[in-house]
Structure 1
Amino acid sequence: MSVGDGRRPEPRYSRIVGELRRRIESGELAPGERVPSTREITRQWGVAMATATKVLTELRHEGLVRAVPGVGTVVSAPERATAHAPAPTAPAPTAPAPPAPAAPVRRSTPSPAAAAGSPGGLTLSRIVAAAVTVADAEGLTAVSMRRVAAELGVATMSLYRHVADKDDLLVRMMDAAIAERPLPADPPPGWRAPLDVAARQLWGLFRAHPWLAPAMSLTRPQLITSAMVYSEWVLGSLHRHGLDDQSAFTAHLTLLNYIRGLALNMETEREAEAQSGLDSEEWMDTQEPALRETLEGGRYPQLARLSRAGYDFDLDGLFEFGLQRLLDGLAVLLDEGTPPTRA
């Protein structure tokens, strides 16, 4: 735009939106890939935090990006984009998607007529799949017998011919979700590699189903047969390398609860975002003035230095760091003398 054409200069945030939109539409930023955070935008383009927040808000309104709890703002899949995004001519590369068994029920607008069918057409697997779909999309609090029946286009009472109550349904949902990602038929050699495989499989499940971690109980464990396969895998790997039953099971619970505890943040963040209308980055921006005022007194020099440098919060990074530290600790317990690795 020329200076003398009589029009106002394009707002700074619009130019940044245009640049990020171009990167998304050209494929430079692929679906599932993180876009610059508000702090990265302020550093890269030299704008205020409010401007950076407005950039991401505009991209979300256009359907080009979406907030993922614990990850940040990522590029949306092509079908979520608006007219600004080109119509895809071939499947675009995406982040790891939920496994195939769950795909058939991931529809946004179920057809009640098709779902109802004859009374004999309502099956336990269809009920469970519909409940998982609701929980994946809206969280566990949205799951009720009435809501699942509405998704299937059947009477609520008809569900009780297949499940005893909501608690029974929840256990079956968990069993079905965990069964989506079976462990390999044969574990890799050693003890560390099998535990690493099991841990990453579980983390992937919690990623695909944010409701799964809060649904699980450590102190009152539900009878979930697909989860017992994971327990057998871990216990067998540790037993084969000399760990006694009590220590092996304690190690298993420690590893499981580390992964589950970290994954709990995904569902709580989703709920907080729904209640506040702010994603985690936007919420942090509202806290920044008070934080700076608190840190200016010099009482917290370590936190002040970290605040100035910035910290790129990433749940996947925390998972990786903690997993390796736990496995390092088990190496000492197994008397392998493995030196601690650095992440």
Structure 2
Amino acid sequence: MPFPARIDPETLGADALAIVEELGWDAWSLREIAKGLGVSPNALYRHVSDRDSLLVSVGVAAVHELRAALNKSRAKGRDRILDLARRYVRFAIRRPHAFAAFVHAKPEPDDPRAQAWFLLWTEVLEEIRALLPESSAAAAFAFWSLIHGRAELARGPARSAEPTAGLDVAVDALLRGFESLGEVPSPLPDYVPR
């Protein structure tokens, strides 16, 4: 009679993310995750091939949590874009290990798990498209770069400042700039939804 599985492939990423958040970003390993799950490292290797594969699963869980945080916004139009920016930066500050997993996981474009990142991107793109239909991909790319850069600064050199200080002004300027430009070609690679 086989032993019941102690690792649920459907919840492995979220379960591992909880352990990563307990241990800290720099302290986790496959061995530590296995220990936290109550299994041997060999049992974990039945579900992931290596640390990078586990990292992608953890990253998927982080993407789901980031999407949930962003989707709590009830604002509309331009206010929604500003609120999404604030929520993104605050997620990076409040959930530093989840944010690190989101950033450091690097699924290949053809990995089915990459769909979590594409879905997040598509949701942001659609919000921008509602305001800037002529330049949505370029504006969404610039918006994403801006909020991600602000999140990284808030987690590092600017961590003593209020995390969203100046963010509304910067996002508003970005949106107004793209409004004045009209049509702008997409800077995105072909495999990223436009």
Pairwise CA distance, 1:322? 2.6
Q: Name which of 233, 243, 249 aligns with 2:133.
A: 243
State the shift of 1:231 in Å: 2.0
Larger-gyration structure (1/2): 1
Q: CA deviation digits over 1:195-219, x for unaligned, max 9?
A: 2232233223212321344441699
Q: How far, CA to CA, are the matches of 1:262 and 1:221 in structure 2?
A: 26
Q: CA deviation at 1:167?
A: 1.3
Matches within 5 A, 1:259-298: 259-264=147-152
1:254-312 Cα distance to aligned partner (Å, 9 max, x none): 3223333333356668xxxxxxxxxx9xxxxxxxxxxxxxxxxxxxxxxxxxxxxxxx9
Which has the larger helix fraction?
Answer: 2
* Root mean square deviation, CA, Å: 3.6
Q: Would the aligned equivalents of 2:12 and 2:57 in 1 still touch at CA under 8 Å?
A: no
**C-alpha separation between the residues in 2 aligned to 1:217 and 1:249?**
23
* Pair 1:133-2:18 in alignment: yes
Distance change (3 Å), C-alpha of 1:220 and 1:146: closer
Pair 1:255-2:102 in alignment: no
CA spacing shift, 1:218–1:138, aligned 2, 3 Å: closer
Residue 146 of structure 1: how far off its partner (Å): 0.5
SS of the equivalent of 1:121 reads coil
8 Å contact from structure 2 (residues 20, 33) kept in 1: no
CA distance in 2, matches of 1:126, 1:208: 22
Q: Partner residue of 1:314?
A: 161
Is the Cα contact below 8 Å between 1:207 and 1:263 reproduced in 2?
yes
After TM superposition, the score normalised by the length of structure 1 is 0.42
How many angstroms apart in 1 are the aligned matches of 2:166 and 2:179?
20
Q: Determine the structure 2 residue equivalent to 1:70.
A: none
Identity of aligned residues (%): 23
What is residue 196 of structure 1 aligned with on the other side? 82
Structure 2 unaligned segments of length 5 or more: list them. Answer: 182-194
Q: Could you tell me which residue of structure 2 aligns to residue 162 of structure 1?
A: 47
Look up the equivalent residue of 1:314 and give its one-letter code: A
Aligned twin of 1:231:
121
